[in-house]
Amino acid sequence: MYPNPAPVLRARGVDVRYGAQLAVQGADLTLMPGEVVAVTGSSGSGKSSLLHCLAGVLAPAAGSVSFEGREYGALEDEELSALRRERFGYVFQHGELLPELTVEENASLPLRLAGQRKGPAHRAATPVLERLGMGELVGRRVSQLSGGQAQRVAVARALVHEPAVVFADEPTGALDSVNAAAVLDEFLTLARGRGTAVLLVTHDEGVASHADRRYVMCDGRISLGRGVPSPATGEATARSAS
């Protein structure tokens, strides 16, 4: 079913704790290359905690997360940073752009952080920005942009370095439905075109419907959505992952 059957990201029995509180409990999740996976659930169900854990921001209290076979627990902080810098991309609800930088500087930031010089980095960012309809606004500060425009810049920043995985946390949560649909279309089209896997965290059923596969979270427990094929068998299942 997939060109490369080896999963790019795998979580097994992951627990995430905040002190005594268990935010995620025994989560199993697999992400294949080029696949768009959605994790849905109500507020406080543990979606963002799971995303942060998969992105290497939060260390799991139990279980393991591995990227391309390398377990996070075996990596030093610098190695994990390098992974986030070079292989991961991020899109958040509010973009989390740096307001003092221009559109071009924000979009090319991952390349600059990876050591590229300003000129080549800007040149690499330009086509991505153009595809997202931001070609005319490269010199603007992001504080001068609308919400939709800022989110496009965030998408460009997430994809400019051609990452293996993009983590998207409510990527269209701050946008109206028209803008949300447009940005999401552009985002997923670009990601699929580059073979990038996308982990999409959202509580919006409309957004989740764009995914190839869907997980549902409830009180920290994750399960495959109804009628969604399992990555391992291709058959529809409703088995709880825990």
What gap in Å lies between CA 119 and CA 239, rounded to an integer?
50
Binding segment for another protein among 87-95, 183-191, 221-229, 231-239 (CB under 8 A)? 87-95
Contact (Cβ atoms closer than 8 angstroms) between residue 2 and residue 35:
yes
Least separation in angstroms between residue 53's CB and another protein is 9
Contact between 99 and another protein by CB under 8 A: the answer reads yes
**The one among 128, 149, 155, 169 contacting another protein by CB under 8 A:** 169
Q: Which is nearer to another protein, 202 or 223 (CB)?
A: 202
What gap in Å lies between CA 176 and CA 174, rounded to an integer?
7
Amino acid at 205: E
What gap in Å lies between CA 43 and CA 28, rounded to an integer?
20
Q: Please name every residue paired with 168 in a beta bridge, in sequence order, or none if there are none.
A: 91, 200
Number of residues that bind another protein (CB under 8 A): 38
Q: Which is nearer to another protein, 93 or 149 (CB)?
A: 93
Contact between 104 and another protein by CB under 8 A: the answer reads no
| Helix residue spans in 55-117 (DSSP H) | 77-86, 103-107, 109-113
* Interacting residues with another protein (CB under 8 A): 48-49, 52, 55, 57-58, 78, 81-86, 88, 90, 92-94, 96-101, 105, 109-110, 112-114, 117-118, 141, 143-144, 169-170, 173
